[in-house]
Amino acid sequence: MSQPTEYNPKETAEKLGLLPEEYDKVVDYLGRTPNFTELSIYSVMWSEHCSYKNSIIWLKTLPKSGPSILAEAGEENAGLVDIGDGLACAFKIESHNHPSAIEPYQGAATGVGGINRDIFTMGARPIAQLNSLRFGDPESERTKWLLKGVVKGIGDYGNSFGIPVLGGEVFFDASYNQNPLVNAMSVGIMKSDRMISATSHGVGNPVFIVGSSTGKDGIHGATFASGDLTDDSADDLPSVQVGDPFQEKLLLEASLELAETDCIIGMQDMGAAGITCSTSEMSEKGGCGMDIHLDRVPTRQEHMLPFEILLSESQERMLVVVKKGREDEVLKIFDKWDLNCVEIGTVTEGPSLRYFMDGELVAEVPADSLVLGGGAPVYEREYKEPAYYAVAQAFEPSTLAEPSDLKEVARSLIGHVNIASKRWVTEQYDSMVGTINMSTNRPSDAGIVNVKGTEKAIAVTVDCNARYVFADPEVGCSIAVAEAARNIVCSGAKPAAITNCLNFGNPYNPEAYWQFVGAIKGMSTACKKFNTPVTGGNVSFYNQSTIEGKTVPVLPTPTIGMIGIVESKEHITPLSIGEEGQQLILLGKHNDDMSSSQYLIHWHKQELSRTPSFDLDYEHKLQEVLYGLITKGSIKAAHDVSDGGLFTTLLEMSLPLGIGVDVEVSGGRLDGLLFGEAQSRVVIAVDASDASRVLEQAHSAGMDAELLGSARGKDIVINGSSFGSVSSLGEIFNGALHKMMN
C-alpha cells in the first residue's frame, strides 16, 4: 500500500481532523497502522457532517415511526410517507452553509442539486423545492454579496433543472454575518411500492458509477463542513463543489427510467465524502463488501491520486449496484442520456471495502467501521445553561413605554427586511414550471402541490424563528414545529411528517450544545403532539465565525420542513381576503405579549426577552378546530399571526386583491396587540352570512373566537383610525428588500 514519504500517521490524523482517541480506534479496527488513503477515508466518514458523532445520541430520542411512514429516519436517502392512492411522498432538507459562505453561487446551487438527488435516487420525481436562508446585517456589503450569490445559485440551478420553488423564508441577523445558512428542501412523488433502497448485496453483482466525471472539487468537503469558519477559510475554496443542472436533469431522467426496470439492487447519491460514503453505507446496510477499482472511475483531471478520487464530492454522480447479467440494460439507458456509466467494481463477501489503483491495493477497511450506527464514534457532550438565558427570562416588555404614533411603528416594521415581502428573492425563482403549483395565483400559508390524477394535494412549508429558539431552545423549537403545522392547516391540509435541518454552533461549546439539546427536546414534544414523525434531515454544527479573535455563534436555527396532505382539493384555503363584505374572525386569544417580537427587537432595540406566549395543548386544539371548520367549507381564507404580529397578518390578507379591512382590537396594550407575536392565533375570513355559525361552532368546540370586523374599502382601519391605504402600505412592504439590494 502506497503512502507519502516521511509519513507520520498520528500527525497526519490530527491534520485531517481525527482526535487522538479516534486514531487509536482506527488502529484497533484495522489491526495495523493505517496508510494515508485510509486515514483520509476515516477522516471524512468520522467527520461530524457524515457521522453525527456529537448529535446522534439526542437524535435517537426524536419520534420516527407512524402509520404512514414507509422509510424512517436514517433508513434511506430521504423520508418517505404514504399519501394514499398507491403514491408516496419523498422529502428531505439539508444544509450547504459553509460552501455558501465561501462561494455563495456554487455553494447554494450544489445544495439544491444534492437534495434533489436524494429524492430521485429513491425513485421519486422531484416536484417542489423550498429553502430557508439566513444572512447577516442587512446594511453590510458582504451580506448583500452573499444574498445575491445564493439567490442566483438557487435560481439558476433550480430553474434549469425544472422544479418549482413553492416556499421558503429569508431572515437577517448580525450573528450570520460570516456564516450564512442555506437550507434546501426537496419534495418528490413516486409509486409507494417502487422505492429504490440505498443498499448493496449479492456477491459478484457489478458496481457502477453513473453521471458526471470525477474532479478535484469538493475534496474534504465533509471535513470542511465539520469545522469553524475563520478568516482563512477562503483557502478552502476547492472544498466547494461545482454544479451542472443540465447534467442533473439528464441524470434524473436516466435514473427514473432505470427505476422502471428490475435490474438494480440499490442506488445512492454521491454527496458528502463521495465514493467513500456511497460504497461504505451501501455495503454496511447490505452486510457485504466491495472491490472498487479507482483507475476505472471517469475523471476530469489526469493523474488524480486515490484519496482524491475517493473523497471528491463532484456533483451529479451516483453509485448503482446492478444484478449480474443485466449490465447491458443499464448501459443502454445511460448511453441514451449521454451519461457516464462505468463498471468500477463488484460486490464481495463482507465486511471489507478494498480500493485498488492500477491493480495495487491502496486501502482496505471494514465497511461497518466507517458509518453511523456501525463503528463511527459516538459522543455525549457537556452542556450548560448560558448566562444570557436568565437575563432574557427576567426582562418584562410591559415596562417599555408605548409609542405615541403606532402608525409610524407599523410603517417602520413592515418596511423592515425581516417582515417585509421577500419578492426580490422569489421573483428570481421559477414557481410555475411543471404546472403543479396550486398556490401561485391563490397564495396560502403553505405551498400547495397538485397530485395529478387524484383528489389530493400536498402542502409544504419550512419554518423556524431563531429568535424564539435563542430565547428558550425548548419552547422555541416547539413553536417552530407548531408554526409549520399551523401553516399546513391554514392551507387546508393535515400535517403528516417533518424533516429538519439543525443549524447550531460548535458542539464542544457547552452553551451552544445546551441550545441543541433544548431544541431536540422541544421538537420531540411538539412532534408527538401533532403526530408528525421526524423522517430525517441534517445536523450542521460549527456555524460560527472567528472574527478578530472572537467566536460568534449563529442564532440556534432548527429549521423545520413539513408536509401535509390535502385530502380534497376543495379544502385548499388561500390566505387572502376574497371580496368586500367578508367577516374577519380571530381564532385564539387576543394577547399583547411582545416578547422576542420583531417590534421589541427593532423598534425598542431590546435583544433579550422570553419566547412569546405559547401553550402546546392550546395550539393543538386551535389547529383541530381550524381544520374542522375548513373541511366543512366554512372558511374562505386563513392566515396565521406570526412575524410582525396581527397588523402584518391583516396587511398580508389585504394585499393580493387590494381590499381593506375595518377591525376593532382591544384587550391589552394596543402596540402589543398589533405587533406582538404571541402564538396560537389565526385570522379567518368567512362570508357574512356564515359568521355567527362559525363563531358558534368554534365556541362549541372549546376554542376562543372573536369577530374582528369586516373586509371593506381600501385602507387598513383599526379602532376607527386609518393606518394607511393598502396600496401605500404595500409599496413599503413590497419594496423593502429591493431598496436594500439597490
352 dihedral zone (left: phi>0; alpha: psi -120 to 50; beta)? beta
How many residues does this entry show for the chain?
A: 742
* DSSP bridge pairs for 357: 360
State the Cα–Cα distance between residues 579 and 445, nearest whole angstrom.
19
CB 40 within 8 Å of CB 307: yes
Q: Is 99 exposed, middle or buried (0-12, 13-18, 19+ CB in 10 A)?
A: buried
Residue reference for cell 376543495: 570
CB 118 within 8 Å of CB 499: no
- Those residues whose C-beta lies under 8 Å from the C-beta of residue 305, and which sit 6 or more positions away, are none
Which residue type sits at 608? Answer: L
State the Cα–Cα distance between residues 726 and 730, nearest whole angstrom.
6
Q: Which of 96, 98, 220, 293 is catalytic?
A: 96
Helix (H, G, I), strand (E, B) or coil at 535: strand
| Grid cell for residue 429 | 425563482
Task: Compute the 3-state secondary structure of the chain and give helix, strand, coil in percent, each to the nearest 5.
Answer: 40, 25, 40
Q: Residue 90: what are its φ and ψ, rounded to 5°?
A: -100, 135
| 671: enclosing H helix or E strand | helix 670-675
Q: Residue 118: what are its φ and ψ, rounded to 5°?
A: -60, -30
Q: Residue 513: what are its φ and ψ, rounded to 5°?
A: -70, -30
- Is 639 part of the annotated catalytic residue set? no
CB 97 within 8 Å of CB 179: yes
State the Cα–Cα distance between residues 127 and 461, nearest whole angstrom.
14
Cα dihedral 74, 80, 81, 84 sign: negative
State the Cα–Cα distance between residues 516 and 53, nearest whole angstrom.
14
Neighbouring C-beta atoms of residue 69, cutoff 10 Å: 20
Q: Which value, in Å, is the radius of gyration of the alpha carbons in the chain?
A: 26
Crossing angle between the packed helical segments 691-700 and 616-631, to the nearest 10 degrees: 140
State the Cα–Cα distance between residues 75 and 207, nearest whole angstrom.
21
Q: Which of 49, 220, 571, 639 is catalytic?
A: 49
State the Cα–Cα distance between residues 331 and 43, nearest whole angstrom.
34
State the Cα–Cα distance between residues 373 and 75, nearest whole angstrom.
11
**Cis peptide before 351, with omega less than 30 degrees from 0?**
yes
Q: Is 528 exposed, middle or buried (0-12, 13-18, 19+ CB in 10 A)?
A: middle
- Is 49 part of the annotated catalytic residue set? yes
| 332: enclosing H helix or E strand | helix 327-336
| Residues assigned a catalytic role | 49, 96
